[in-house]
Chains A and B, each alone.
Chain A
Amino acid sequence: MVPIKYNTRNLWVRRGTTLMTVAGTALIVWSSCILFSMVEGLQQSLDVSGDPLDLIILRKGSTNETDGGFELDKADTMVTLKGVATDPKLGPLVSRELLNIPVMERANGSRTNLIIRGLDPVGRLLRRDFQIVAGRDLELGKGEAIVSERLAGRFKNSNLGDTLKVGEKESYRVVGLFRAGGGSAESEIWVDRKDLERNLSREGSVSSVQIRAAGPTDFESIKTVITDDAQYRLLALGEREYYAKQTQSTTFLKVFGFVIAVFLTIGAMFAAANTMFGAVASRTREIGTMRALGFSKSSILFCFLGESVILCSIGGIVGLLATLPLQALSFGTVNSNTFTEITVNFAFGPLVMIVAFSMTLAMGVLGGFLPAWKATDKDIIASLREL
């Protein structure tokens, strides 16, 4: 085997070219990484990975909480359903929820539809890892609101202590910031259900009800009662099922992001090949000498392949490092199901990193193969004679 030092030194000697290739591949890896983590983050923020015993109740025929709801009376009687889990302090885990989707102004001046959710206090227990991270929870009936931590500040007047103006007559004081396990709740503003009901003059209706069953058999029985009982005739979905459907809309983006990343990699592969062809061409005599010294064809092949992989890996590492400043950023975009804002955190998980890095390896191996093959194919005498 040709020692690896030969390759690293060569990369150093040709540092101009090396630097350009590294910069090129780094940018491509950076871009792919952003694309992947964007799609991944999008999926996470639509998801909730709720408790398997959680149910969401919607009007029959609707596919989404934002599609309008049903009568409050029906929702009220659900607390008496058999098999509902109970919290010692707050009572039955049944949260009646009402949504308002006003047009709100982002901090940068653009506008979008934002979900303002009015819910019962018990609703907090139905979100995974709900916690207040700043300020305090809202008090009922006082026109107060709590805002998702990652959303705060992204909209005008949405920071702690601000007064959030929604419509001509509707405004809330932001008294706390919350987290809810990174799921869809983190794209929302929460208020008291009754406050919202009054402000919207929508007394007597709810958008959805969230329920936790006490056990798996109760889960099924509640589902049956709500679907079939003449009193209800509503749609009862397991939350997991509901959110799996919500995240389906990202499939298109996922495929799109992946295709783009693959094509970018192919583009970068051409670039790596170019560099390696240059590297091989300018070292014809060296290769001839090595062959004359007794290095086999295969060790020459691996030598140049290795150089190509090293070259691309440096680019890959630089590209991955360049994503570090973005790790803490969150951004807002549209949920194409509901046309409402979702707040997304970049998700540079290990998976994203591994996929992006394997792409650089693919660039190195596939881009370096032809040039390396060319290097082995040279006739010893002819190459020694070359200038």
Chain B
Amino acid sequence: MKYLGYVLRNISRNPVRSLLTIGSISVSLFLMMIMLSFLSVNSEVSDSLKGSNRIIAMSSQGFAAQVPIRFVDEVGSMEGVTAASPLSWYGGKYQEQEMPFAQFGIYPEKIFDIWDELTIPEDQKKAFIDDPAGCVIGFKMAEERNIKIGDPMPLKGTIYPFDLNLTVRGIYKSPPDRDGRMCIFNWRFLEEGLKKDFQGRQAGNAGTVFLKIKSGTDPAQVCQKIDASTINSDTPTRTQTEDAFVAQFAELWGDMRLMISAVGLAVVVSLIFVSGNAMAMAMRERTTEIAILKAIGFTNGKVLGMVLSEAVFVSTIGGMIGALGCKLLFDVFDISPYTAGALPFFFIPTKTALLGFGTSILIGFLSGLLPAFAAARLGVIQGLRKVV
């Protein structure tokens, strides 16, 4: 600690170099944070859903296949299940925008018991249950699109032939790591429409079945029980806990995840070279000085420590600006509305930001290693003689 002043002095004696190194590290880490968050947001959300006591049953044939609506009642009456609702992806157009936000057909009287972290005033919930053509939308979407209760919400079907002319009956609030831009509507309204106008084509499909189970019940057991009960039907199911269900979307990304990690790693290695280079240049200029330090009695270990701490200090500042700054920026500024629905929500998970910050310390350490050893090994006479 005693030598902190000396280290700081050394950093600031060539401000251009230190600033350039800091700049290089912070810009690159900033980007790395964004790329890594693409990967980690999903697992972060999935982790936060552990213990939500929710499970989702989908067709073992994937999303394109049917899950008959009768399963909702059958499964809903199983032991340990407290509430069940269809969760049917509608995927419609809103004002000619294709799939601008998620739309689900659900049972209004059940859904808020299942999705209990979404909050909605009692009177709005009642209005939603009472109006078959009603819908509830997320608060973020309501703010951004300036939609109020009572406004129309026309959705044009792309998967289903039946268009939904809904009215907003309520606005739900949700925590930041949940989608605040969904539109949920009464599943029965879609069903009636398909039966009435389209001879029941594509009717009777629950999409997926969304279930709440009693806390303390083993979700894996319930999942197994459900799958066992449907295995011999025409539409066998694959039932998973909600976190596993969410995690499977990350799986879809496939090799893209690997590629993003590879680029991230390349950036880190590149930064080690960059800041190592800066450190080596600083040391070369200071060869005489280091020799003098040694001549007046500084041990090799002390010299090593001082050079290393200088490197770590510089890159840590870069990490603070790049990694932690990036987190702050995205906490304040929400980019989701500008991604045309590609990202329903985006944030830098704290873990990812800390990883970035940790990486900057590691970069400093690794980049300082070689110059520090060189400085520590420098012979006094040799160093004093050297003209730079």
Contact = CB atoms under 8 A, between A and B. Distances in A.
Q: Which 5 A-B pairs have the closest CB atoms?
A: A331-B255, A27-B270, A270-B24, A334-B252, A101-B64
Contacts of A28: 266-267, 270
B370 to A, nearest CB: 9
Contact of A112 (B160, B252, B273, B284): B252
Interface in A279-297: 281-282
A20 B277 contact: yes
Given A112-B251, A339-B252, A387 B27 contact: no
B99 to A, nearest CB: 8
A231 interface: no
Interface string A96-133: 00011111001000111100000000000000000000
Interface in A62-104: 62-64, 66-68, 99-103
Given A103-B61, A113-B62, A336-B342, A270 B23 contact: yes
Contact of B254 (A16, A30, A101, A331): A331
Interface residues on A, range: 35 or more
Given A167-B60, A341-B254, 7 more contacts: A60-B161, A110-B251, A112-B254, A113-B63, A267-B274, A271-B24, A277-B16
B31 A260 contact: yes
A17 B277 CA distance: 6
Given A274-B17, A387-B387, A64 B270 contact: no
Contacts of A268: 24, 270, 274
Interface string B1-43: 0000000000000001100110111011011001100000000
A334 B266 CA distance: 24
Given A263-B31, A264-B28, A20 B156 contact: no
Interface stretch (A31-39, A177-185, A218-226): A31-39
A274 B20 contact: yes
B64 A66 contact: yes
Interface in B227-242: 234, 236, 238
Interface residues on B, range: 35 or more
Interface string B299-320: 0000000000000000000000
A263 B31 CA distance: 7
B30 A63 contact: no
B334 interface: no
Nearest to B162: A61
B98 interface: yes
Given A34-B263, A168-B236, A260 B35 contact: yes
B388 to A, nearest CB: 7
Contact of A333 (B253, B270, B278): B253
B281 interface: yes
B21 A270 contact: yes
Contacts of A341: 252, 254
A167 B231 CA distance: 12
Interface of A: 16-17, 20-21, 23-25, 27-28, 30-31, 34-35, 38, 59-64, 66-68, 99-103, 106, 110-113, 167-168, 201, 249, 251-252, 260, 263-264, 266-268, 270-271, 273-275, 277-278, 281-282, 331-334, 336, 339, 341, 387
A282 B285 contact: yes
A210 B308 CA distance: 66
A113 B269 CA distance: 35
A274 B21 contact: yes
Nearest to B232: A168
Contact of B20 (A64, A101, A271): A271
8 contacts: A27-B266, A27-B273, A31-B263, A60-B161, A67-B158, A263-B31, A270-B274, A333-B255
A165 to B, nearest CB: 12
B259 interface: yes
A244 B91 CA distance: 20
A61 B270 CA distance: 49
Contacts of A201: 234
A34 B262 contact: yes
Nearest to A167: B61
Nearest to B157: A61
A273 B188 CA distance: 65
B254 A271 contact: no
B237 to A, nearest CB: 12
B382 interface: no
A57 B234 CA distance: 29
A100 B342 contact: no
Contacts of B165: none
A62 B159 contact: yes
B276 interface: yes
Most buried by B among A21, A25, A102, A106: A102
Contact of A274 (B64, B248, B277): B277
Contacts of B161: 59-61
B270 A24 contact: yes
Most buried by B among A27, A34, A275: A27
Contacts of B267: 27-28, 31, 264, 267
A34 B258 CA distance: 12
B274 A62 contact: no
Given A24-B270, A270-B21, A281 B156 contact: no
A67 B64 CA distance: 8
Contacts of A332: 254-255
B226 to A, nearest CB: 16
A149 B65 CA distance: 27
B256 to A, nearest CB: 4
A102 B258 CA distance: 24
Contact of B278 (A25, A61, A267, A274): A274
A282 B388 contact: yes
A212 to B, nearest CB: 26
Contacts of B64: 66, 99-102, 113
Contact of A266 (B27, B258, B388): B27
Given A201-B234, A281-B285, A282-B388, A21 B277 contact: yes
A113 B252 contact: yes
Given A28-B270, A38-B259, A278-B281, A68 B253 contact: no
Nearest to B64: A101
B280 A17 contact: yes
Contacts of B30: 263
Contacts of A66: 64
B48 interface: no
Contacts of B263: 31, 34-35
Interface in B307-357: 339-340, 342
Contacts of B224: none
Contacts of B258: 331
